Amino acid sequence: MTKETGDTKKILGVPATKEGVAKLSVIAVSLLVVMKVVASILTGSISIRADAVHSVIDLSGVVIAFIGIIIARKSPDKQHVYGHGKAEDIAAFIIGVLIFVAAGTIAYAAIERLIVGGAVELVTVGIYVTLAAIMINVIVAWCALRAAKSSDSVALEATGRHLLADVWSSVAVLVGLILVRLTGLNILDSIVALIVAILIGRIAYQTTKKAFSGLMDVKLPAEEEDSIIASIMEHSDQVLNLHKLRSRKAGNQRYIDLHLVMPKNVSLEEAHRLCDHLEQDIVGKLRIVDVTIHIEPCTDECDLCSVSCTSIKQE
């Protein structure tokens, strides 16, 4: 049972869906790659070159995210009876690895320039290009994270984090270029690039950690499990005990199964009606959810019952 809520509005003329924002990200990052490559050739700036490499990796990441989102939306089939939701987790994990690669590439280029040396030319051009890159990335990253929050998409969130890493990269490049222009010290360009690598490495860790949790079937956050328990405890007059609660997540799809103990003289119809009601309550709180409830009758020896079986009215 699922309940999906999506924003049907448009962002920059593109539908604010997972697929629409993913397409927007591909277009925007492609434009950034061209801009930064041209700027790095004109200026000779190692930080702009590193930023361009980062954007190339960004482009790979958003393409992977787009593919993951398309696969994840496919309906369950004979080979994938639980659906394809983990495609988003796989995409997010790959994007996290790519962010690590970006950090390593930038660090390597910066250290190489520190050893070999080199001059930065046409600094003003580099500053203007970097400013434009920052504005484009901020807009697209905001769109991606907003859509990720509304659709609960792990892959789109990873894309947004990847683009935010590019924003920090570009901000640091801008600072470095301004310092080079003011001081004439070309070494500052490489130092800033190293700082960028550290910042990006942190984002890579956060992204891969969340994606890996989904792949390893880590249980839902405590607040979500608490809301499940609260939904059931609202019916404590009918539910005698709750146990064996298990939860996991694949992409934006949550899977929950649990055991409920009910009075042994409750009819099958009444138990089924209660389960349907509980499923609707849980879906209403957690949106996209698949709930499986196993009903167990109480026993004469049960010391957990708060309800007298003889007082239960049958319909």
Rounded to 10 degrees, the C-alpha dihedral 11/13/19/23 comes to -110
pLDDT digits (tens, 9 = 90+) for 192-218: 778 778 877 887 888 888 788 777 877
Residue 13 corresponds to which tokens in the numbers above?
């003329």
pLDDT digits (tens, 9 = 90+) for 102-118: 788 778 877 877 777 66
pLDDT of residue 16: 56
pLDDT digits (tens, 9 = 90+) for 236-292: 777 778 888 888 887 778 889 899 888 888 888 888 888 888 888 888 888 777 888
pLDDT of residue 283: 85
As a whole number of angstroms, the distance between CA 300 and CA 315 comes to 22
- pTM to 2 decimals? 0.67
Higher pLDDT pick, 46 / 13: 46
- Number of helices and strands in the chain (H, E): 8, 5
C-alpha 252 chain-centroid distance: 9
- Structural domain boundaries in the chain: 10-215, 222-311
As a whole number of angstroms, the distance between CA 26 and CA 291 comes to 35
Same fold flag, 10-215 and 222-311 = no
Q: What is the mean pLDDT of the chain?
A: 77
As a whole number of angstroms, the distance between CA 20 and CA 144 comes to 10
CB atoms under 10 Å from CB of 2, counted, come to 13
The class level of CATH for 222-311 reads: alpha beta
Residue 276 corresponds to which tokens in the numbers above?
């349907």
Band (121; pLDDT cuts 50, 70, 90): low
Beta bridge partners of 11: 14
Q: What is the DSSP string of 123-143?
A: HHHHHHHHHHHHHHHHHHHHH
As a whole number of angstroms, the distance between CA 275 and CA 254 comes to 17
Query: What topology is assigned to 10-215 in CATH?
Result: Alpha-lytic protease prodomain-like (1.20.1510)
